[in-house]
Copies of this chain bind each other. A is one copy, B any other.
Amino acid sequence: MSSSAQKYDVFQAIADPTRREVLKLLAHKELPISEITSHFPMSRTAIAKHLHILSEANLVSGQKVGREKRYHLKPETFQELKDWLSYYDQFWSNKLSMLKFVVENDGEDSRSNKETD
């Protein structure tokens, strides 16, 4: 599949508030560009660009139906994001258990700096 020089990745795609709104709209129902546009205070061209970016990031995909093109979400890519996030889970659980350890042992570890944050 596309290993092509993707200009936009998932992270950049969801960085823009308008694009996140578009995703939210498409969650409920697949929609053509002009209908999506009607929900925003900007031109259809602008929305088309946003959809292009979302599409390159594989967050949405469009299928032509007659003269319109209907866009819908692509679940797989949301999963990519979840995977990225879950990478960090291991560190937090470690951190939490370590904190618990420190507390239970009255913080006698010499090298540890306790954070008040």
> Which DSSP category, helix, strand, loop or mixed, fits chain A's interface?
helix
- A72/B14 contact (C-beta < 8 A), A79-B97, A83-B104 known: no
Contacts of A90 in B (CB 8 A): 109, 112-113
Q: How far is the CB of A63 from chain B (nearest CB, A)?
A: 6
Interface residues on A, range: 35 or more
User: For window 31-76 of chain A, which residues contact chain B by CB distance below 8 Å?
Assistant: 61, 63, 65, 70, 72-76
Please give the residue numbers on chain A whose beta carbons come within 8 Å of chain B beta carbons, in ascending order. Answer: 11-12, 14-17, 20, 23-24, 27-28, 61, 63, 65, 70, 72-76, 78-79, 81-93, 95-97, 100-101, 104-105, 109, 112-117
